[in-house]
Amino acid sequence: MDRPYRIFISTGEVSGDLQGSLLIPALMAEAQSRGYALEIWALGGPRMAAVGARLLGDTSQIGAIGPVNALPFVWPTLKLHKQVMDQFKQVPPDLTVLIDYIGPNLRLGQHLKQACPNPVVYYIAPSEWVWSQGLGVTRQVVDLSDKMLAIFPQEATYYQEMGADINWVGHPLVDHIHQFPPREQARQQLGLHPHQPMMALMPASRHQELAHLLPVMLTAAQQICRQVPDIQFWIPLALPAYRGEVTQALQRTGLPISLFPDSQTVVAAADVVITKSGTANLEAALLNVPQVVVYRVGAISAWLYQHLLHFEVEFISPVNLVVGREIVPELLQQEVTPEKIAELAYSLLEKGEARHTMMAGYQELRSHLGLPGVLQRAAEAILNVLEQSLR
């Protein structure tokens, strides 16, 4: 073929943009080693664009927690998908890679499969193994995917039992964590003295999370300041668009809290992280930083989850989910109070039993995340599917 092979990658939200930006260089390098070039088209965000993707739309800010909060994003998503489908009627991709983002990706993937029946690889499969919305959704994912690549062993087992052609490649953070700065360097970059206590507050990668979690985190920080007067707090901004809202909230508190654009530096420098559930939990664990995990949604969404969707999960943090027991403390819904957050965070700041036990749990977690080389294994599997389809 004279032209580069065209791969379309579809994802959404800040986390999907990160995962896509890690995968694209691995795909490019693996293709080059095989003697051909790739052209990456994508729905994603600025990180994916920075590593060479041609963005057909920015989905990094299209994300919500709870069905109610998702409603404003339905029309923009449908409009964007129509634009993508119109584009691919003229120049279809040779292969599609879907990264997480279950609702939009499932719909778009099905339309793509009908319009241009080229292979679909689902990388970072939907978390149906955690909170299944019924076997119907799982079967749709399996039927859509020519290949699935799992980042957790339980995820691979679940989908394999449902009939998927799936490989466990490991979690990409195993490779990415080496790009985080060493603790001493990170603290110097933030202007921290060697022994000055510092906590990171990580309330949001979605706007709704900011509204639900930032105020209670700031009140908890005020209580911690009374116990540790010389402590500093840092907030990494998931999206620059949040700066104005966060700055206004900070001005009302008078707390010693600073903003920083890079979460890697802030997490690496922290003594304790107070964070929403998500990828940040794994980042803190791989850096051996103690953490308190908090999460809550609005009252209507919580009611829908419980009574209509029947979501029942033992844990919400991926650290606990993967190992199958509590390694990091979780506060959910009504449990998310300033007093409880402050109490747990302060106990981890002290180098006592709680901190020691968590560090031991982090060591156990590592065996569930796979060996280094995750991104290369994923790239190899994806290009193998591409080459098989072209024979």
> Which residue, among 156, 10, 159, 131, has the nearest Cα to 65 in the 3D structure?
131
Single-letter amino acid, residue 231: I
Second CATH level (architecture) for the domain 5-170+370-390: 3-Layer(aba) Sandwich (3.40)
- The arithmetic mean of pLDDT across residues 333-345, rounded, is 94
DSSP state at residue 351: T
pLDDT of residue 301: 53
Integer Cα distance of 44 and 63 in angstroms? 12
pLDDT score of 283 more than 70: yes
Q: How many other C-beta atoms lie within 10 A of the C-beta of residue 207?
A: 18
Cα separation, 242 vs 298, in Å, equals: 19
Residue 308 is predicted with a pLDDT of: 46
One-letter amino acid of 155 = E
Rg of the chain over all Cα atoms, to the nearest angstrom: 21
- DSSP letters of 170-216? --THHHHGGGSPPHHHHHHHTT--TT--EEEEE--SSHHHHHHHHHH
- The set of residues, in sequence order, having a beta carbon less than 8 Å from that of 137 and lying 6+ positions away, is 102, 106, 126, 128
The proportion of the chain whose per-residue pLDDT surpasses 90, expressed as a percent, equals 66
CA-closest candidate to residue 7, choices 113, 77, 92: 92
Q: Which amino acid is at 221?
A: A
Of 106, 124, 243, whose CA–CA distance to 173 is shortest? 124
318-330: per-residue pLDDT in tens? 999 999 999 999 9
Copy the structure tokens of residue 41. 């088209």
Whole-number pLDDT of residue 205? 64
**Phi, psi values for residue 39, rounded to 5°:** -125, 120
Lay out the sheet containing 232-236: strands in order across: 257-260, 232-236, 198-202, 272-276, 291-295, 330-332
Domain boundaries of the chain, sorted by first residue: 5-170+370-390, 181-366
- Both tokens assigned to 364: 């156990």
pLDDT at 349: 93
| Cβ atoms within 10 Å, residue 339 | 10
Confidence of residue 307 (pLDDT cuts 50, 70, 90): very low
Q: Return d(Cα 261, Cα 189) in angstroms, integer.
A: 12
Q: What is the pLDDT of residue 158?
A: 93
pLDDT digits (tens, 9 = 90+) for 101-148: 888 899 999 999 988 889 999 999 887 777 665 678 899 999 999 999
Rounded-to-integer distance, Cα 377 and Cα 156, Å? 15
The residue to which tokens 């027991």 are assigned: 325
Q: Tell me the pLDDT tens digit for each residue of 199-253.
A: 999 986 666 778 789 999 999 999 999 999 999 999 998 677 778 888 888 888 8
Nearest to 223 by CA among 247, 191, 187, 253: 253
Assigned superfamily of 181-366: Glycogen Phosphorylase B; (3.40.50.2000)
Predicted confidence (pLDDT) per residue in 54-111, tens digit? 999 999 876 545 554 555 556 577 788 888 888 888 899 999 999 998 888 999 999 9
pTM of the model: 0.89
Partner residues linked to 295 by β-bridges: 332
Residues 6+ apart with CB under 8 A from 59: 10, 11, 12, 13, 16, 17, 43, 44, 45, 77, 80, 101, 104
pLDDT for the residue 186: 97
Longest dimension (CA), the chain: 68
Q: What is the dihedral of CA 58, 51, 205, 265, to 10 degrees?
A: -160
326 — phi, psi (to 5°)?
-80, 115
| pLDDT-based confidence at residue 309 (cuts at 50, 70, 90) | very low
Matching CATH topology for 5-170+370-390 and 181-366? Answer: yes
Nearest to 53 by CA among 110, 93, 106: 93
Q: CB of 150 within 8 A of CB of 169?
A: yes
Q: What is the mean pLDDT of the chain?
A: 89
Whether the per-residue pLDDT at 17 is higher than 80: the answer is yes
CA distance 152 to 315: 15
